[in-house]
Amino acid sequence: MDYFSSDFTLGILGGGQLGKMMLYETRKFDIYTKVMDASVDAPCKIACNEFVVGDLLDFDAVYNFGKNVDVLTIEIENVNTEALERLENEGVAVYPSTDALRIIQNKAKQKLFYIDHGIPTAEFSRFAYASEISESIEHGSLDFPFVWKSAQFGYDGQGVKIIRNIKDLKGLPQGECITEEMVAFKNELAVIVARNISGEVKTYPVVEMEFHPEANQVEYVICPARIDIKVAKKAQEIALKVSSNIKHVGLLAVEMFQTQEDEILVNEVAPRPHNSGHYSIEASYTNQFEQHIRAILNLPLGNTDSKVAGIMVNLVGAEGYTGNAVYENMEAILKLDGVTPHIYGKKQTRPFRKMGHVTIVHEHIEEARKIAQLVKETIKVISK
């Protein structure tokens, strides 16, 4: 198939920042794209060839969109899988596959999948309704503290809550959920695995999420992770095992915990480009978005090594500001060496909304870390 400057059409479900960054790459290769998103102002709108407004969870919207493309991919996992299945049956190439997406869309299914395939993960219980949790506590089969997770439609920590006492159970959404043992992890790590249709596989280096000591928010994604090489190897091997069992095509971002005893537990996976791989745009030989395109079009995979150390700082809306976004002190950070801001193009900011990110690259990781801190302390997303 000729993809470049041709009649070939790549469809992308979801028009957010991940899609927008994927479109930098389709533009580079001159691949024709069509994007669907529910919002008329989605960040992808400015960079795709055709934009369709539609609900990603609606069968007809997804089916009608998909039947006019050659290859269909996603930039968000919450899409209508019945429509994807029908499209697959009718001959549309869908990556990741409906089967892979169905495992990943539901956290209870995902956890059972890890158990079935001998992949290490935190202990958990599964509940059809959140109200059943208190019965388990009364019967003594569940102890505080634990982590509650909605089985479906959680995103950026919204479907996750640490439960320390009975009061914390109040107000939880009623649907299917899991409870998970609380892991006193040393580090949160992630590995992105790329697999093309022919089965060629490559992993990116292990990255580390550094947390704010009090706010418990990820502040920096650091590549390479500052961990023992043996632990890094183990993390990559486990990520590869998840990947080969899910048989995904495209990217699979595997989020993991490094325990105090240096065990690796898989937390969750995402079958698409991921926040933990944004550093790769500036730091890697082949960035994650280009790699995703290569993989789903069955092109040779690119080199996943880094050219330099890379650190990513998420740019989230500052607390106390809601409204039209303003990026304060952009000029100050642009004066720093090796600093590249990415602004996603969301008109409205609100506290903690992901509005962009900044990448810092440097030959020396400790130097990059210092600059990253300066960036973090300088730039602020506020409203007019």
Phi-psi region of 239 (alpha: psi -120 to 50; beta: other; left: phi over 0): alpha
Instruction: Indicate the residue among 147 and 343 with the shorter CB distance to ligand ADP.
Output: 147
State the residue number with the nearest CB to ligand ADP.
Answer: 183
Instruction: Indicate the residue among 188 and 282 with the shorter CB distance to ligand ADP.
Output: 188
Instruction: Indicate the residue among 144 and 155 with the shorter CB distance to ligand ADP.
Output: 155
163, 147 contact by CB (below 8 A): yes
> Should residue 142 be labelled a site residue for ligand ADP when binding is judged by CB under 6 A?
no
Least Å distance, CB 185 to ligand ADP, is: 6
Tell me the CB-side half-sphere exposure of residue 275, using CA atoms within 13 A.
22
CB atoms within 10 A of CB 104: 21
> Should residue 145 be labelled a site residue for ligand ADP when binding is judged by CB under 6 A?
no
69, 11 contact by CB (below 8 A): yes
Least Å distance, CB 37 to ligand ADP, is: 20
Which range touches ligand ADP (CB under 6 A), out of 131-139, 157-165, 287-295, 318-326? Answer: 157-165
Strands 177-181 and 201-203: unpaired
Which 244-283 residues touch ligand ADP, going by CB under 6 A?
Answer: 255, 267-268
179, 125 contact by CB (below 8 A): yes
Here the tokens at position 152 are 């479906």
Least Å distance, CB 4 to ligand ADP, is: 35
Amino acid code (one letter) for 96: P
Least Å distance, CB 147 to ligand ADP, is: 4
213, 243 contact by CB (below 8 A): no
Exactly one of 57, 112, 137, 147 binds ligand ADP (CB under 6 A); that residue is 147
> Should residue 173 be labelled a site residue for ligand ADP when binding is judged by CB under 6 A?
no
Alpha-helical regions (H) of the chain: 17-29, 59-66, 81-89, 98-105, 107-116, 132-138, 229-246, 280-283, 288-296, 330-334, 365-378
Which range touches ligand ADP (CB under 6 A), out of 24-32, 50-58, 149-157, 293-301? Answer: 149-157
> Should residue 159 be labelled a site residue for ligand ADP when binding is judged by CB under 6 A?
yes
Which range touches ligand ADP (CB under 6 A), out of 37-45, 54-62, 92-100, 155-163? Answer: 155-163
Report in angstroms the alpha-carbon separations of 37 from 54, 75, 355. 5, 10, 17
Least Å distance, CB 261 to ligand ADP, is: 15
Total chain residues near ligand ADP (CB under 6 A): 16
User: Which residues fall within 8 angstroms of residue 251, CB to CB, at 6 or more apart?
Assistant: 192, 193, 194, 271, 272, 273, 274, 277, 288, 291, 292, 295
Which 307-346 residues touch ligand ADP, going by CB under 6 A?
Answer: none
**Any idea which residue has 């039209």 for tokens?**
324
Instruction: Indicate the residue among 189 and 281 with the shorter CB distance to ligand ADP.
Output: 189
Write out the DSSP string of 118-142.
T--B--EEEESSTTHHHHHHHTTSS
> Should residue 163 be labelled a site residue for ligand ADP when binding is judged by CB under 6 A?
no
Whose CA is closest to 345, among 26, 23, 73, 49?
A: 23
> Should residue 219 be labelled a site residue for ligand ADP when binding is judged by CB under 6 A?
no
The vertex-332 CA angle with 329 and 337, nearest 5°, equals 140
> Should residue 182 be labelled a site residue for ligand ADP when binding is judged by CB under 6 A?
yes
Instruction: Indicate the residue among 84 and 178 with the shorter CB distance to ligand ADP.
Output: 178
Instruction: Indicate the residue among 40 and 215 with the shorter CB distance to ligand ADP.
Output: 215
> Should residue 122 be labelled a site residue for ligand ADP when binding is judged by CB under 6 A?
yes
Which residues are at the interface with ligand ADP (CB under 6 A)?
122, 147, 149, 154-157, 159-160, 180, 182-183, 188, 255, 267-268
